[in-house]
């Protein structure tokens, strides 16, 4: 297994493109066929595959959609540091904090318009993201 870590500085409800970093790490690992596990070890953030477009409209729409479904409010029982904190926890639980990616011929297998993203649902914060790359045991 090869292990990688990066730190990401995010604004409130920030979005960070991880595709380039993940692909660089997979290439660096030398793994030809296997699996990469991506993990954002935080309770107000998530990782996901989303449209990899030239503009961020799709990504902003995802953040906006989550905010409409799970709004910040002062009536949450959990009020750690602000009204958006618990909403961030809920959004992260729905999106998820980890992602499995297939590696074939030394490259991450993904659709032509897919990108890999880190979403912060509260913030601003500096968050970590971990990647573990495993070689197929064949």
What is the reported pLDDT for 89?
86
CA gap 66, 116 in Å, rounded: 18
Q: Structural domain of residue 34, as residue ranges?
A: 2-135
- Domain CATH for 107: 2.60.120.460
**Number of domains forming the structure of the chain:** 1
Range scoring the smallest mean pLDDT among 11-15, 56-60, 121-125: 56-60
- Residue bearing the bigger pLDDT, 83 or 126: 126
Query: Residues 85, 79: contact at Cβ < 8 Å?
Result: yes
| Angle at which helices 57-69 and 85-95 cross, to 10° | 110
Percent of the chain at pLDDT exceeding 70:
91
Predicted TM-score (pTM) of this structure: 0.89
pLDDT of residue 74: 62
Classify each residue of 16-38 as buried b or exposed e, where b means 16 or more C-beta atoms within 10 Å of its C-beta. Answer: bebbebbbebbeebebeebebeb
Q: What is the pLDDT of residue 71?
A: 84
The more confident residue out of 50 and 22 is: 22
């Amino acid at each position: 297994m090869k292990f990688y870590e990066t730190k990401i500085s995010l604004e409130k409800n920030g979005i960070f493109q991880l595709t380039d970093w993940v692909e660089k790490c997979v290439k660096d690992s030398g793994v030809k066929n296997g699996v990469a596990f991506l993990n954002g070890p935080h309770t107000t953030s998530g990782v996901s595959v989303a449209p990899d477009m030239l503009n961020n409209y799709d990504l902003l729409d995802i953040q906006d959609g989550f905010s409409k479904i799970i709004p910040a409010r002062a009536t949450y029982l959990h009020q750690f540091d602000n009204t958006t904190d618990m909403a961030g926890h809920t959004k992260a639980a729905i999106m998820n904090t980890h992602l499995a990616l297939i590696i074939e011929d030394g490259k991450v297998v993904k659709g032509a318009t897919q990108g890999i993203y880190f979403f912060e649902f509260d913030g601003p914060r500096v968050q970590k993201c971990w990647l573990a790359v495993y070689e197929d045991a064949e």
